[in-house]
Amino acid sequence: MVYWLLKVALAPVFHLLWRVRVDGSEHVPAQGAALLAANHQSFCDSLFLPLVVPRKVTFLAKAEYFDSPSTAWFFRALGQIPVRRASEETERALETAADALAEGRVVAVYPEGTRSLDGRVHRGRTGVARLSRECGVPIVPVGIQGTAGVQPVGKRLMRPGRTVVVRFGPPMRMIPAPDRAHPLTDHDHRQCRAFTDALMREIARLSGQQYIDEYVPARSQSSSVA
Number of H helices, E strands in the chain: 7, 9
| CATH number, domain containing residue 56 | 3.40.1130.10
Inside any domain, residue 146: yes
The count of other CB atoms within 10 Å of the CB of residue 5 is 10
Instruction: Read off the pLDDT band of 185 (50, 70, 90).
Output: low
pLDDT of residue 219: 65
Q: How confident is the model over 42-56, as pLDDT tens digits? A: 999 999 999 999 999
Per the structure, the count of domains in the chain is: 1
Inside any domain, residue 225: no
Task: Please choose, from the candidates 28, 207, 23, 3, the residue with its C-alpha nearest in 3D space to the C-alpha of residue 112.
Answer: 207
pLDDT of residue 69: 79
Tell me how far CA of residue 88 lies from CA of 91, 109, 185, in angstroms: 5, 18, 20
Whether residue 39 is predicted with pLDDT greater than 60 in this model: the reply is yes
Q: How confident is the model over 97-116, as pLDDT tens digits? A: 999 999 999 999 999 988 99
Instruction: Read off the pLDDT band of 220 (50, 70, 90).
Output: very low
Here the contacts of 24-29 (C-beta below 8 Å, separation 24 or greater) are 24/167, 24/168, 24/169, 24/170, 24/206, 25/52, 25/53, 25/168, 26/168, 27/140, 27/168, 27/169, 27/170, 27/171, 28/53, 28/54, 28/55, 28/106, 28/140, 28/168, 29/106, 29/138, 29/140, 29/171
pTM to 2 decimals? 0.90
Higher pLDDT, 33 or 85: 33
Inside any domain, residue 224: no
Q: Burial level of 190, CB count in 10 A (0-12/13-18/19+)?
A: exposed
Q: How confident is the model over 187-212, as pLDDT tens digits? A: 788 999 999 999 999 999 999 999 99
Inside any domain, residue 155: yes
Inside any domain, residue 103: yes
Q: What is the mean pLDDT of the chain?
A: 89
CA distance linking residue 13 with residue 7, whole number of Å:
10
Instruction: Answer yes or no: are the C-beta atoms of 48 and 70 closer than 8 Å.
Output: no
Instruction: Answer yes or no: are the C-beta atoms of 212 and 42 closer than 8 Å.
Output: no
Inside any domain, residue 222: no
Burial 14-34 (b: 16+ CB within 10 A, else e): beeebebeeebeebbeeeebb
Whether residue 24 is predicted with pLDDT greater than 90 in this model: the reply is yes
**Average pLDDT for 21-50:** 96
Inside any domain, residue 95: yes
Inside any domain, residue 67: yes
Alpha carbon distance, N-terminus to C-terminus of the chain: 30
Instruction: Answer yes or no: are the C-beta atoms of 100 and 78 closer than 8 Å.
Output: no
Pairing of strands 19-23, 34-38: unpaired
HEC readout, 121-147: EECCCCHHHHHHHHHCCCEEEEEEECH
Domain residues for the domain of 130 are 2-210
